[in-house]
Chains A and B, each alone.
Chain A
């Protein structure tokens, strides 16, 4: 006689919380938006006549239309060309910095969570100090320290984010470490590293996978915010935040085209990451 185990008498309470259809819609919409943005910033610049830092001396603050479909800024640079080129930089920095933060944070989190004891205590107290600052404030300070080159900015955003990942992974490792299958691995006589690599790590990274896309959106906002304040990428390099900053003076006069297009593209890209992240969270049943 076969084992009599039929699924789902009274299903888990979380089943109600997961709205799979909606999650899929969110993930698809987010992916499509991001795909379109990536496509636009990769191919778009090839189709535009003007270079991103090319100055059309004849046209400063020209309104959209004619030779400049989205107009020009105060320096006579083409907004469309700049907006598209800036996308490469912003997306690239966001993804690179989050990847770096994930690697750094995961390493720290594993060491702290799996070793425990003094190592854990010391690492956590250090992270406490860094997390005693709001993230953006810390980013401002470190950006001022390191300067505004692109590699430096990637490092800044990664450093500011890493503690959160470290905590996330540490908490997960500490939970997973106590689960029966980890004990089973240890009673099998496996070495500590073997157990860590084969059992603890693969089962500890789910929240990281879910949070990372959301975090990419935040990274873009941070980069743009830093540049907006003059602590990130500076003119003439094309970057959305710096462009909005340059255009902010025109707003009171009612000139929208210098700041609205970069902001809209920034919004759309971040929204793409947000939708994707929200969908992944919904699907994973992460309730936060």
Chain B
């Protein structure tokens, strides 16, 4: 019950931030250099054509009117029409959000589990060769440019070894996967489409591996540092000095205390991963949200840029909120 109240309060606190986000994106998009209308009409269009097109997209309205329309649209779920494609932004986004979230969630989950296991393993061997090796390896992973790592993996695993499908698209179209959520693996499971599942999984291997490698290091460092702090703490030493068995120590006295600070960092890493997807999707022609947003940005497609940036901020804010709640559950010292 207290957790529910805490969640509600944090949700309320997120509202002004999100409003700020909406304002900032709106202004940002309007001051972007470049004219979206010119890019779609081509060089031969007359001034009258341009004016007509502007009117069609509501760009002839005064700034405040555009803002009010935009804000109203946000609440009714109408995000406007893409200037480039003429399609509804909402519809385009629905198709694109699923695959990207699938990629990010799988990568962050694997990285978190890996970081927890390796971090505690490393902390219990602190100062020994295994610990040092693992930490340096994690640092190397963290120093890799993800877009380059993706290319190298393609070079080696696809071009060289041929173990994975070609890095274009997310699932073999021949498998006739029907679209439900947009997340291919999930859709394959929902429709019981075995071949599609295998194909989607095959396509996921390299992008997920790329992201896991670059994001596991900060998580592992955090778990290791917390675990080390717990192991060196008076509280843990006291429990050990009272002769508690290894299993009780690990489960009751080390694990939870060491994971207390992980959620906040995992949220941060999630955001980092969202940023990374723009690059990773580009490398693997993933046709996901990141690529869509990037193209919107490059072509000054106002509605697309606005919608994508606001959605990313919304996701990110929500993730932090979830992290706060998880933290509050894990750490009894948090006042809620």
Which residues of A pack against B, CB within 8 Å?
Answer: 13-17, 19, 22, 125-126, 128-130, 132-137, 140-142, 144-145, 147, 217, 221, 224-225, 228-231, 241, 244-245, 247-248, 251-254, 256, 259-260, 262-263, 266-267, 270-271, 273-275, 278, 287-288
Contacts and interface: CB of A to CB of B under 8 A. Distances in A.
Q: Shortest 8 CB-CB distances between A and B: which pairs?
A: A136-B275, A263-B148, A129-B20, A134-B271, A16-B232, A270-B143, A287-B225, A271-B143
Nearest to B236: A13
Contacts of A15: 232
Given A229-B282, A263-B149, 17 more contacts: A17-B232, A129-B24, A132-B20, A132-B316, A135-B275, A136-B272, A137-B309, A140-B297, A145-B28, A145-B31, A145-B32, A225-B279, A230-B298, A231-B298, A252-B158, A260-B155, A278-B139
A134 B312 contact: yes
Contacts of A252: 154, 158-159, 166-167
Nearest to A278: B139
Contact of A133 (B21, B144, B145, B294): B21
27 contacts: A19-B127, A126-B20, A132-B316, A133-B312, A133-B313, A134-B272, A134-B312, A134-B316, A140-B275, A141-B28, A145-B28, A228-B147, A229-B279, A229-B282, A248-B147, A248-B151, A248-B283, A252-B154, A254-B159, A260-B152, A263-B145, A263-B148, A266-B148, A267-B143, A270-B145, A274-B142, A287-B228
A13 B232 contact: yes
B224 to A, nearest CB: 9
A133 B316 contact: yes
B151 A251 contact: yes
Sorting the interface of chain B by its residue count into under 10, 10 to 19, 20 to 34 or 35 or more gives 35 or more
Contact of B226 (A14, A274, A275, A287): A287
Contact of B145 (A13, A147, A241): A241
Contacts of A133: 21, 271, 309, 312-313, 316
Contact of B139 (A137, A145, A259, A275): A275
Contacts of B18: 132
Contacts of A19: 126-127
A247 B147 CA distance: 12
Nearest to B13: A128
Nearest to A225: B279
Contacts of B265: 288
Contacts of A245: 147
A128 B232 contact: no
Interface in B4-46: 16-18, 20-21, 24, 28, 31-33
B234 interface: yes
Contacts of B143: 217, 267, 270-271, 273-274
A12 to B, nearest CB: 9
A137 B231 contact: no
Contacts of B158: 252
A271 B151 contact: no
Contacts of A287: 225-226, 228-229
B260 interface: no
Contacts of A267: 140, 143-145, 148
Nearest to B217: A274
A62 to B, nearest CB: 19
A271 B21 contact: no
A15 B228 CA distance: 11
B249 to A, nearest CB: 16
Given A141-B297, A266-B145, A271-B143, A17 B151 contact: no
Interface string B209-238: 000000000000110011011011110000
B274 interface: yes
A138 to B, nearest CB: 9
Contact of A13 (B33, B132, B229, B274): B229
Given A13-B229, A134-B271, A137-B309, A129 B21 contact: yes
Interface centre among B144, B148, B271 (most CB of A within 10 A): B148
B32 A144 contact: yes
A141 B272 contact: no
Nearest to B126: A19
Contacts of A136: 272, 275-276, 278-279
Contacts of A241: 145, 147
A224 B145 contact: yes
B287 interface: no
A214 to B, nearest CB: 9
B54 interface: no
A115 to B, nearest CB: 21
Interface in B271-293: 271-272, 274-276, 278-279, 282-283
A16 B231 contact: yes
B225 A288 contact: yes
A22 B125 CA distance: 14
Contacts of B126: 16-17, 19
B317 interface: yes
Contact of B127 (A22, A128, A135, A230): A22
Contacts of A13: 229, 232-234
Nearest to A221: B145
A281 to B, nearest CB: 9
A247 to B, nearest CB: 8
A271 B139 contact: yes
A244 B225 contact: no
Nearest to B234: A13
Nearest to B270: A134
Contacts of B298: 144, 230-231
B327 interface: no
